[in-house]
A and B are shown apart, each in its own frame.
With several copies, the nearest count.
Chain A
């Protein structure tokens, strides 16, 4: 995939649609010739990102938008409006007070992907950006 080869997927911000994102990204990663194990990793990471977007983003609109881009031997995924801006400190691991939402999910995303970061997106919310490099065996 090159720049123009990006894929967009928008699903309702609801639990029953996470499986759609999961199967779509599995197809995309498969198309990029990721290994079966890496496909499973990306699948779980994207599902956890959607689950997190559902838990954190109820006030951010009814949809989760996912942008996939392949290139330079990696798959890049942007989850638009993943969380409100106010979650940034907590997401970066600076716990603060109060309970952490979905700590296990965030942990899995970091463990399964090669790069994870948060960025202020166009809607005044946080985008989650994550990348998985292709292993050449």
Chain B
């Protein structure tokens, strides 16, 4: 019932936020802080690694959407790493699969940025 957040650079222009745990109304403010902090520091290409996220709710989706809106103002992008079928289903149901790039691996997400 917690979330672990770690951030690292993939290259000069791109950072990866790795999330481990569950993203819900209690934990999503922490995710929002991490995303906002990165954007405030001038990083507009963000890969969010959801591979170890077992649960995401509408507040978590809202944080991802909010981040995407902000980076787009700078010509940036938010790509997601996700191969959990239950999580992918949530992106399908909400139609968010059409606005995010969703990839199985970090390599695929990085390739799509080039």
Contact = CB atoms under 8 A, between A and B. Distances in A.
Nearest to B1: A19
B49 interface: no
Interface residues of A, number: 24
Contact of A44 (B1, B26, B57): B57
Contacts of B26: 15-16, 18-19
Contact of B86 (A16, A37, A111): A37
Interface string A12-27: 0001101100100001
Contact of A15 (B25, B55, B58, B86): B25
Interface in B22-63: 22, 24-26, 55, 57-59, 61-62
Contacts of A112: 93
A47 interface: yes
| A interface: dominant SS | helix
A50 B61 CA distance: 16
B6 interface: no
Contacts of A102: 58
Interface in B86-105: 86, 90, 93-94
Contact of B58 (A19, A27, A37, A48): A48
Contacts of B62: 104
Interface string A47-62: 1101100100000000
A111 B93 CA distance: 7
B48 to A, nearest CB: 17
A123 interface: no
A30 B1 contact: yes
6 contacts: A15-B25, A30-B1, A47-B24, A51-B58, A51-B59, A102-B58
Given A18-B24, A19-B22, 5 more contacts: A15-B25, A19-B24, A30-B1, A48-B58, A107-B58
